[in-house]
Structure 1
């Protein structure tokens, strides 16, 4: 969620008008309106006062989520599966790139996204599978750095399979 949407949502929950919020923060009403419409963002010095005024944390204001619950990960992966089926590989890949940026600290999600896209490449769900190799490999390597040994193991296993498939493809091309 964009910061403007977060501000609008919590401002309304607090029962504040844009004008009231502006007065309390010492800014103009059009400034608050521009934030909520996504035309501009608040100055960094206003982030803490905005969060306090809206009774939310800075993490909530900035839509920062370090870890997702298993249920949230499962929901996103299910959504990804539906996208693959309905919208195809390329659109799902673009969606996945955005999701991994949004939840860049959730390595379990990133690993599962990489595995699903890797499987899509193997099964021929995309036209040019090699063009996705670099990103999928980067995700596996990134997840390999996780502090959780279970996630490291999954990433190492997936990365090994990835390289083994690449080696076999290379050998087949050179026969």
Structure 2
């Protein structure tokens, strides 16, 4: 969720109007409105006061989460698949990349998304699937040494199949 959506959601939950929020923070009503619509962002010095006013942490305000739940992971992957099918692979891939950048330390999510992107290159018959090989390979190798054994094993298996598909048997054997 974008910061503007978070501000709007928690402002409404606190039953504050934009005017009341603006008065509490010493800003204008149009400033609050712009935050909520995403046309601008609050000054960094206002992040803590906004969070305190809304009764949330700055992490929540900034939508910062280290890990995702299995349900959240599945929802993001389903959305990526829908985007690939409806908007094309390049568009779905770009959207998925942005999501992976949002959660750079959530290995389970990133490896599962890479698997999805890897497989869907062939499901939807991308004309130049090898264009994406480097990034997908990098994701698999990045998580080979994950502290989470399940993530490391999934990355290893994915890298094995990735290598076999490209007839790179030496890499697959490693």
Q: TM-score range by the shorter chain?
A: 0.7 to 0.9
Aligned equivalent of 1:49: 49
- Report the Cα offset of residue 130 of structure 1: 1.2
The answer on whether the counterparts of 1:77 and 1:113 sit within 8 Å (CA) in structure 2 is: yes
- Tell me which residue corresponds to 1:16: 16
Which residue of the partner structure matches residue 63 of structure 2? 63
Aligned alpha-carbon RMSD (Å): 2.1
2:138 maps to 138
Alignment map for 1:84-123 (pairs within 5 Å) = 84-123=84-123
Report the Cα offset of residue 168 of structure 1: 4.2
What are structure 1's unaligned runs of at least 5 residues? 170-175
Larger mean Cα displacement after TM superposition, 2-11 or 85-94? 85-94
Q: Output the TM-score relative to the length of structure 2.
A: 0.85
Gaps of 5+ in 2: 170-174
**Inter-partner Cα distance in structure 1 for 2:25 and 2:145:** 42
State the aligned residue count.
Answer: 169
Contact 2:144–2:156 (8 Å) recurs in 1? yes
Q: Matches of 2:131 and 2:50 in 1, distance apart?
A: 43
Shift of residue 115, structure 1, vs aligned partner: 0.8
What is the Cα deviation at residue 56 of structure 1?
A: 1.2
* Large movers: runs of 4+ above 6 Å: none
Contact 2:89–2:124 (8 Å) recurs in 1: no
CA contact (8 A) 2:137 2:159 kept: yes
> Does the 8 A contact of 1:111 with 1:155 survive in 2?
yes
